[in-house]
Structure 1
Amino acid sequence: MSDAAAWSDFWAANAGATQGGCLPKRWAAIEDAQRTAWRGFIANLPKGAQLLDLATGDGRVLGWMRAERADLALEGIDLAPDLPAAPEGTITRGGVAMEALPFTDATFAAVVSQFGFEYGDVGKVAAEIARVLAPGGTVGLMVHRGDGPILEHNLARRAAIDWVLGEQKLAQVVVTALEAPNGGPQVAAQVAAAVGIVGARKFGDESPAWEIPEALRRAVLMGTQAGDAAIRATIAEIEMRAANEIGRIASLERACATADRREEIIAGFATHDLHEQASEDVCEPSGRALASFLTFS
């Protein structure tokens, strides 16, 4: 599955969510740290400045900025073709690659990205940023860290998915129980519930090792009146969404590796006469760094 498809599925399921698969459940504290970093970045932008957000997703960063500076002209793009509605007063476009921005030269006073820049080709994206950035403009990038809690959380989710659908083969087991002569919906639901109990003990009761068995259990019971074919279709959908999440986590892992190669990022911008002005840790309350905030001009 492509990164664009995996992230489209993610935004469809998580638009506006206060927590979810991408970030740990301590989302609120993480979000506060992110908002604080962006508040500082936009404080000195000129009145009415045009700003472009790369890999905007659900437009969360644009929404934060809009709340602080209603005078800014805020626009975002994302490779995912299907995006949630843009926050009020902002514009977002899906299906747009960072390596080929559909804007004229020297358009934006600022170009920013939160957990997006590092998903692209560093050299090509830096060149496009430099092209659309107005003279004297500023670049702000909040990038992942391979040693941070976001990747750690998502790798744990992947391990849980692999356990329940790979090692336990629960989807196939549920279908077998559903179709067996001495089986049926009640038996299949009991099988899913039993695996969910073990998964919750092993990985936690908010992990996919519980979420997926519970979804399968409900699918079997709720589909009883619709028939076995409808139940199997729902099970296939659950498997597809799990595969999408695996794809998204793989792209996150690659992005963290790219972000950790800091010298390549700095060199990519320096080629276009944009130089690093600051590099700061973005931390959760414990003091653990969850991201790095880089500025170039």
Structure 2
Amino acid sequence: MSSPHDKAWSDFWARNRQSGQDGGCLPAKWQGIDAQQRAAWYRFAQLLPRNARVIDIATGDGRVMAWMLSKRRDLKLQGVDMAPELPDPPKGTKFRAGTTMESLPFPEGKFAAAASQFGFEYGDVALAAAELARVVAKGGKIALMTHRIDGPILEHNLRRREQINWVFETQDLFATAKRSLAARSAGLQLLAPKIKHCPAEGARLFGQGSAAWEISEAIRRTMIMGARQHSVHVAQTLDMIADQARNEIGRIASLEAACKQTSDETKFLQALEKGGLKQSSIEAVVEADSSQPFADFRILSHS
């Protein structure tokens, strides 16, 4: 059975697919980050032997595999992810959903290399390292792109969490909407002033397109468009919006925890060593138009 945490990531990838987004946890204005990620994986792909089998840990939508395959058509790429549901894999690759990095269903030495972008640090590092050390053949290459606690990805998502909490806690907007629905039973059809005005206030405080504006506007539209619908159906739509927002809060919490894992470099390296891996190199990854690193690119090998 999948956990709420796993479902949060399934929902995240599903929404990305439906909206056509390709930026992971970042807005479109940071496409320079995407370009630097792609370049790092292009370089790694060129290091691998011909026809190498590669496992991509926490594959998500499979973008790392797609990038690598675009440079090396001979690679045999297998993605795994704990999310119980994933989008369709990129052509020429395979997915295995509902699979944790701490318990990989593959024999010893099956892969010549392993990759993970913003995934490995979400798990139990020592256990995940031990599994990679087991399924990657001796002498194989392992590359990780890991989050930084001082990077723009966490910064952006913490702001979104603040905005979501503004809707839930400061404005108590979902409860206000439910009270408005209850008032309908008494024949009162007026829309609560808070529901009318919160989208504009959210935009003023946090910006147009912010989570504060986005969610409060979704609530406002649901109430207006549902004026002639049965209250039960309107309540179900409100619950769906609230569940998606809570899932995002859960996803951001897991992102924050992952950043904390890599922020203590000594502890992180010790966990790798415990699992049978050692770090050969680490390189800060920086967007072309910024001096602020957003990730670290690590090359590991068997210890």
Q: Aligned pair 1:105/2:108, yes or no?
A: yes
The equivalent of 1:256 in structure 2 is 259
**Change in CA separation of 1:219 and 1:271 when aligned onto 2, cut-off 3 Å:** same
Q: Structure 2 CA distance, aligned partners of 1:272 and 1:154? A: 30
Deviation at 1:273, TM superposition (A): 5.0
Amino acid at match of 1:132: V
Match of 1:288 among 269, 292, 300: 292
Deviation at 1:259, TM superposition (A): 1.4
Q: Aligned pair 1:153/2:156, yes or no?
A: yes
1:216-248, Cα deviation, whole Å (9 max, x unpaired): 122123323432111111001111111101110
1:178-221, Cα deviation, whole Å (9 max, x unpaired): 4335742x625x64231010011111111111001111122123
Q: Structure 1 CA distance, aligned partners of 2:151 and 2:29? A: 13
- Percent identity over paired residues: 47
1:18–1:27: 8 Å Cα contact kept in structure 2? Answer: no
The equivalent of 1:9 in structure 2 is 11
Deviation at 1:262, TM superposition (A): 1.9
Q: Structure 2 CA distance, aligned partners of 1:236 and 1:43? A: 48
1:56-80, Cα deviation, whole Å (9 max, x unpaired): 0111111111111111000110011
**Change in CA separation of 1:52 and 1:5 when aligned onto 2, cut-off 3 Å:** same
Q: Structure 2 CA distance, aligned partners of 1:35 and 1:170? A: 40
1:244-265, Cα deviation, whole Å (9 max, x unpaired): 0111011011000001122233
- Secondary structure, in 3 states, of the residue corresponding to 1:18? coil
- Secondary structure, in 3 states, of the residue corresponding to 2:78? strand
Match of 1:192 among 191, 195, 209: 195
Q: Aligned pair 1:76/2:79, yes or no?
A: yes
The equivalent of 1:246 in structure 2 is 249
Q: Structure 2 CA distance, aligned partners of 1:24 and 1:283? A: 17
1:24–1:150: 8 Å Cα contact kept in structure 2? Answer: no
1:77–1:93: 8 Å Cα contact kept in structure 2? Answer: yes
Q: Aligned pair 1:226/2:226, yes or no?
A: no
Q: What is the RMSD computed on CA atoms of the aligned residues?
A: 1.7
Deviation at 1:277, TM superposition (A): 1.6
Q: Structure 2 CA distance, aligned partners of 1:122 and 1:275? A: 12
1:178–1:187: 8 Å Cα contact kept in structure 2? Answer: no
* Runs of 5+ unmatched residues, structure 1: none
Deviation at 1:97, TM superposition (A): 0.7
Q: Structure 2 CA distance, aligned partners of 1:246 and 1:122? A: 23
Q: TM-score, normalised by structure 1?
A: 0.94
Mean Cα displacement is larger for which, 253-262 or 215-224? 215-224
Amino acid at match of 2:21: A
Match of 1:18 among 16, 19, 22: 22
1:281–1:292: 8 Å Cα contact kept in structure 2? Answer: yes
Mean Cα displacement is larger for which, 218-227 or 287-296? 218-227
Q: Structure 1 CA distance, aligned partners of 2:23 and 2:148? A: 19
Deviation at 1:165, TM superposition (A): 1.2
The equivalent of 1:213 in structure 2 is 216
The equivalent of 2:271 in structure 1 is 268
Deviation at 1:287, TM superposition (A): 1.9
The equivalent of 1:95 in structure 2 is 98
Deviation at 1:167, TM superposition (A): 1.2
The equivalent of 1:175 in structure 2 is 178
List, as ranges, runs of 4+ consecutive aligned residues in structure 1 with deviation greater than 6 Å: none
**Change in CA separation of 1:232 and 1:71 when aligned onto 2, cut-off 3 Å:** same
- Secondary structure, in 3 states, of the residue corresponding to 2:158? helix
Deviation at 1:288, TM superposition (A): 1.0
**Change in CA separation of 1:273 and 1:235 when aligned onto 2, cut-off 3 Å:** closer
- Secondary structure, in 3 states, of the residue corresponding to 2:50? coil
Amino acid at match of 2:58: A
Deviation at 1:92, TM superposition (A): 0.8
1:58–1:83: 8 Å Cα contact kept in structure 2? Answer: yes
Q: Structure 1 CA distance, aligned partners of 2:29 and 2:36? A: 12
